[in-house]
Chain A
Amino acid sequence: MTEKKVGIINRCLPHGSAQGRESLDLTLAMSAFNESLSLFFINDGVYQLLDGHSPEETLQKHYQPLFKMLEMYDVENIYVCEASLKQRSLSSKMLLIDVTLLDKQGLQQKFALQDQLLSF
């Protein structure tokens, strides 16, 4: 049986809810069992990768350093919506890990390749 391609979509701001953190927890845990994971950051989800947060000031866990573990866990397909960055005056240089930027068509193609999608 071939391994299923699982896409994990991140759409939310990093600290107003636990969505981002629980998505990352899930990603790191699943990466031990599945080597065909792809991560997507779209809309406000792109803020999760923006460097330099200090969420402890609002009693939230600083989970962003865990994004650096993705490389160690061999999660290499990390896609960011280019338009979402632009709309927020962000650039890939401001992000804390290396990502692949995709336009709308590129995202649609990658989504279509996935066997399963989980959305946070």
Chain B
Amino acid sequence: MDEQKVKFSIVVSGAPYGSQSASTAYQFCASALLAGHEISGVFFYQEGVLNASQLVSPATDEINLPDFWAALAVQYNFPLEVCVSASLRRGVVDPQEAQQLSLEQFNLKAPFVLSGLGQLAELSARCDRLVQF
């Protein structure tokens, strides 16, 4: 019997450092993909939006979770969607928003993209399982 392939959508609510939420979410995604399942997309909400900052700079003997997310998403070709309103409140900004808000800097890491909560509704609708971390 074929093992059933499951389509997961993931919600990450925790920062890359300071709580285990995002690391567990990353490990879950990596394991699910290795086991042959599919990740429809990862939605970063609340403190989770900080995973999308290219300024995250941990010590060299520690893991850089934003780098890990970026590499996994590129390798398996799934989107990293970041809630725009939660991001702007926490200082995660892409070039367009920076220009619109007359900010001198932006810091959104590629391939993360800012998107709305409607994108979460979309991810929720087209998955078999929605898992929140």
Contacts and interface: CB of A to CB of B under 8 A. Distances in A.
A85 to B, nearest CB: 26
Given A4-B124, A22-B45, A33 B132 contact: no
B49 to A, nearest CB: 11
B125 interface: yes
Interface residues of B, number: 15
Given A25-B85, A26-B45, A33 B130 contact: no
Contacts of B117: 25-26, 29-30
A118 B11 CA distance: 9
A29 B118 CA distance: 6
B116 interface: yes
User: Which label, helix, strand, loop or mixed, suits the secondary structure of the B interface?
Assistant: helix
User: Which label, helix, strand, loop or mixed, suits the secondary structure of the A interface?
Assistant: mixed
B46 interface: yes
A39 to B, nearest CB: 15
A117 B11 CA distance: 11
A29 B45 contact: no
Interface in B108-133: 116-118, 120-122, 124-125, 130, 132
A18 B46 contact: yes
A55 to B, nearest CB: 16
Interface string A47-74: 0000000000000000000000000000
Contacts of B132: 117-119
A34 B117 CA distance: 12
Interface string A21-42: 0100110011011100000000
A46 interface: no
Given A22-B45, A22-B46, A25-B117, A33 B122 contact: yes
Nearest to B86: A22
Interface of A: 1, 3-4, 6, 18-19, 22, 25-26, 29-30, 32-34, 116-119
14 contacts: A3-B125, A18-B46, A19-B46, A25-B117, A26-B45, A26-B117, A29-B120, A29-B121, A32-B118, A33-B118, A33-B125, A34-B124, A117-B132, A118-B130
